[in-house]
Chain A
Amino acid sequence: MTAMTEAPSALTRLGRLMADNPLLPLTLLLFLLIGVLAVMNPAILSLFWAGNTIKIAIPLAMLAACQTLTMLTGGIDLSVGTVATITAFMTATLAPLTGVPPAIAVALACAVLVGLVNGFGVAICRVHPLIMTLGTALIATGCLLVYQRYVIATGVLIPDFLIWLGTGRSLGLPNSLALFVPFAILIIWAQRRSGFGRLLYAIGANEEAARLSGVRVWQVHLTLYTLSSLIAGVTGMLYLGQIKTASLSLALPLDLPSVAAAVIGGTSIFGGRGGYGGTILGALILTVLTTMLTLLQIPEGGRRILFGLIILAVTALFIRLTERS
């Protein structure tokens, strides 16, 4: 904040520094928010609180991975919340009937199916991803409601290992890190080093150029959206273990915040720029923000207003700082 009052040349230099290291301003912002939180309520800061924040942020960060990957190509996946909800609900309701492993297999198969439909629409029919994924989300929600009427009597069983993963702690840290750390490393590796990751950036930067250089764009899109749904499905299971109830709108509230996390993390919605590291910080920032707003005891309406304004302010500031001109 002090940088804003300095001379313009310093501001430009700061902007350049931040453009080169986009994670720097985000980390600063995160610590700034935690600092404000500490001033508001000094008792809140503890290892337990940190663990809790990380635990809550992980499902959001995983769903935001779907947004990051799709946004790198200039797309978006708005069906992730629905897919996560479906896999969670199906796992919980099928488990008492068929046992846990088949239930998980069927649930993940459903997730992959939604992803394939998304991929088919985006890759082969060339529908705008926003429309395509909203549409499949609508259809999938309808299917879930029909399905729900047939299983209402079977009861719900949440597998123990999902509860361990979702709510347990080892050495003060949430167990979900055991899933998330390898996941994050894999995504960051895939996005930076693998050929698939490079293709995502190439398509996002200039799809026509990528096509002319011999990239089979439709194959990349099909894989990408299937992968995105698969990630969403796994997230749904983790979330099921965390929330410990099977509801029909379990992960839906995470849908738009997952986009917000990726955007705050500096991934361009037009493609070609960004990365998963920023997104993880974005998810943490959003989670700390939510805690802050809850702590202020603002009514629901006011909380939403602040949430929206903060997303807007952070994105605007980020664009200002990282723009080279």
Chain B
Amino acid sequence: MRRWIEANAWTLGLAVLLAVLLLATKVIQPGFGATGLDSLARAALPFALATVGMAVVVIAGGIDLSVAAMMAVASVTGAVLMAGAGDGQALLAVIAVLALGIAMGTVNGVLIVVTRVPDIVVTLAMLFVWQGVALLILNAPGGGAAPWLRAMSAGGVALPGLPQGLTDWLPRGVVFLAVVTALIWVPIRRSKLGLRLYAIGSDPLAAFRSGVPVGQTRIAAYAICGLFAALGGLSVTMSTGIGEPIPGPYLLASVAAVVLGGVVLGGGRGGILGPILAVFILRTVRMDLTMLSVDPNVAAIIEGTIMVAVVMFGAILATRGRKA
């Protein structure tokens, strides 16, 4: 038990921090309840999905600067395909967008492996490419989303066997996130691929000499990131009902959340739960500041300062840990 706590100290700390923040929210605004929680989850969803994608790549020892641009491509593709389509067609559109996400991530990965250009440069270049693709598909925000998809992100979820009073408090955004992450990440983590992702992240040479196909694993990491970026893009379309060709502020936020969530830049260490908790912490801070009617620009300053301070603190802790 004690060992488990020590191993997951960072994640547990984040969970406690999130709980404290939610309590603080309740103090700031006594009316905060199920609807507030729901809108928080909806706002956090695209950030969380981008962060999960980024976390997978960072664990594998890379970084993907094109994640926000891939989300934009997914968002506009989904919106264009779904505009005026029936329910069945919309389902096909969703599947197409997810496949597109995997394809975009695979392209990133293959380029990194084949050209041997540093990942930071490749994904920086692909950031321009995907931005351009998004603009070619849709020049201005537009398109549409299927009603059932829109309904998926709002309101509580009725789970069988749980009282109505409890399920009202479980936002669909959180359930959606949990289901998607569990369906995609948990099987991967448990499989050979999951071990290989961590292996190439902690030491590519050692992994190679132990027989891990480093190139293929790296491509897989970027493909997974692309899949989550596509989900994130869909969730943007889901909550706004339109496609957005200009990438949102997801890149920096996802990197910050990954670091805050205890994944070490450089790879090999950390999990997925920590980054997700970190996303919710950052979103809750933002929401609290809005509730305190702080000027949004000042709120951005405070949010940025918190992110930087936390990252600094984490880095100091990491350095200490290495020396000890």
Contact A146-B136, Cβ < 8 Å, known A134-B252, A139-B308: no
Interface residue ranges of A4-51 to B (CB < 8 Å)? none
Report chain A residues within 8 Å CB of B300. 138, 141-142, 145
Interface residue ranges of B268-320 to A (CB < 8 Å)? 295, 297-298, 300-301, 304-305, 307-308, 311-313, 315-316, 318-319
Q: Is the CB of A125 within 8 A of B315?
A: yes
Closest to B252 in A: A134
**Alpha-carbon distance between A143 and B318 when the two chains are bound, in angstroms:** 30
A296 at the interface (CB under 8 A from B): no
Closest to A134 in B: B252
Report chain B residues within 8 Å CB of A135. 252, 256, 304, 307-308, 311
Task: From A256, A263, A301, give the contact of B133 (CB < 8 A).
Answer: A301
Q: Is the CB of A142 within 8 A of B304?
A: yes
Contact A126-B129, Cβ < 8 Å, known A139-B308, A141-B300, A315-B117: no
Report chain A residues within 8 Å CB of B319. 126
Q: Is the CB of A301 within 8 A of B127?
A: no
Closest to B258 in A: A131
Report chain B residues within 8 Å CB of A299. 135-136
B82 at the interface (CB under 8 A from A): no
**Alpha-carbon distance between A121 and B298 when the two chains are bound, in angstroms:** 22
**Alpha-carbon distance between A260 and B120 when the two chains are bound, in angstroms:** 11
Report chain A residues within 8 Å CB of B141. none
Report chain B residues within 8 Å CB of A57. none
Report chain A residues within 8 Å CB of B313. 125
B85 at the interface (CB under 8 A from A): no
**A138-170 interface mask toward B, CB cutoff 8 Å, 1 = contact, 0 = none?**
110111011001000000000000000000000
Report chain A residues within 8 Å CB of B295. 146
Report chain A residues within 8 Å CB of B9. none
Closest to B118 in A: A269
Closest to B116 in A: A319
B interface residues, how many (CB within 8 angstroms): 44
- Closest chain-B Cβ to A222's Cβ sits at a distance in Å of 14
Report chain A residues within 8 Å CB of B117. 312, 315-316, 319
**Alpha-carbon distance between A134 and B120 when the two chains are bound, in angstroms:** 14
Q: Is the CB of A307 within 8 A of B115?
A: no
Q: Is the CB of B129 within 8 A of A308?
A: yes
B16 at the interface (CB under 8 A from A): no
**B195-206 interface mask toward A, CB cutoff 8 Å, 1 = contact, 0 = none?**
000000000000
**Alpha-carbon distance between A266 and B307 when the two chains are bound, in angstroms:** 33
**Alpha-carbon distance between A136 and B298 when the two chains are bound, in angstroms:** 14
Q: Is the CB of B132 within 8 A of A308?
A: yes
Contact A138-B135, Cβ < 8 Å, known A121-B312, A308-B127: no
Q: Could you tell me the dominant secondary structure of chain A's interface residues? A: helix
Interface residue ranges of B62-94 to A (CB < 8 Å)? 63
**Alpha-carbon distance between A126 and B137 when the two chains are bound, in angstroms:** 42
Q: Is the CB of B126 within 8 A of A308?
A: yes
**Alpha-carbon distance between A307 and B255 when the two chains are bound, in angstroms:** 24
Q: Is the CB of A311 within 8 A of B128?
A: yes
B212 at the interface (CB under 8 A from A): no
A309 at the interface (CB under 8 A from B): yes
**Alpha-carbon distance between A3 and B147 when the two chains are bound, in angstroms:** 58
B111 at the interface (CB under 8 A from A): yes
Task: From A128, A136, A143, A269, give the contact of B265 (CB < 8 A).
Answer: A128
**Alpha-carbon distance between A126 and B308 when the two chains are bound, in angstroms:** 12
Q: Is the CB of A138 within 8 A of B315?
A: no
Q: Is the CB of A259 within 8 A of B124?
A: yes
Q: Is the CB of B297 within 8 A of A131?
A: no
Q: Is the CB of B115 within 8 A of A308?
A: no
Q: Is the CB of B132 within 8 A of A303?
A: yes
A270 at the interface (CB under 8 A from B): yes
Q: Is the CB of A143 within 8 A of B301?
A: yes
B131 at the interface (CB under 8 A from A): yes
**Alpha-carbon distance between A72 and B203 when the two chains are bound, in angstroms:** 23
Q: Is the CB of A126 within 8 A of B316?
A: yes
Report chain B residues within 8 Å CB of A260. 124-125
B41 at the interface (CB under 8 A from A): no
Q: Is the CB of A309 within 8 A of B308?
A: no
Report chain B residues within 8 Å CB of A142. 297-298, 300-301, 304
B180 at the interface (CB under 8 A from A): no
Closest to B115 in A: A316
Q: Is the CB of B312 within 8 A of A139?
A: no
Interface residue ranges of B100-157 to A (CB < 8 Å)? 111, 115-118, 120-122, 124-129, 131-137, 139
Task: From B63, B126, B307, give the contact of A138 (CB < 8 A).
Answer: B307
Report chain B residues within 8 Å CB of A302. 132, 136
**Alpha-carbon distance between A219 and B23 when the two chains are bound, in angstroms:** 43
Report chain B residues within 8 Å CB of A304. 128-129, 131-132, 135
Q: Is the CB of A312 within 8 A of B115?
A: yes
- Closest chain-B Cβ to A126's Cβ sits at a distance in Å of 5
Report chain A residues within 8 Å CB of B265. 128, 130-131
A-B residue pairs, 4 tightest by C-beta: A308-B128, A301-B135, A304-B132, A305-B132
Q: 6 A-B pairs, CB-CB below 8 angstroms?
A: A121-B308, A121-B311, A125-B316, A138-B304, A308-B127, A312-B125
Chain B contacts to A: CB under 8 angstroms: 63, 111, 115-118, 120-122, 124-129, 131-137, 139, 252, 255-256, 259, 265, 295, 297-298, 300-301, 304-305, 307-308, 311-313, 315-316, 318-319
Interface contacts beyond A131-B311, A301-B133, A308-B127: sample of 11 additional A-B pairs, CB < 8 Å, sorted by A: A76-B120, A130-B120, A135-B307, A141-B300, A256-B124, A260-B124, A299-B136, A300-B132, A302-B136, A308-B126, A311-B124
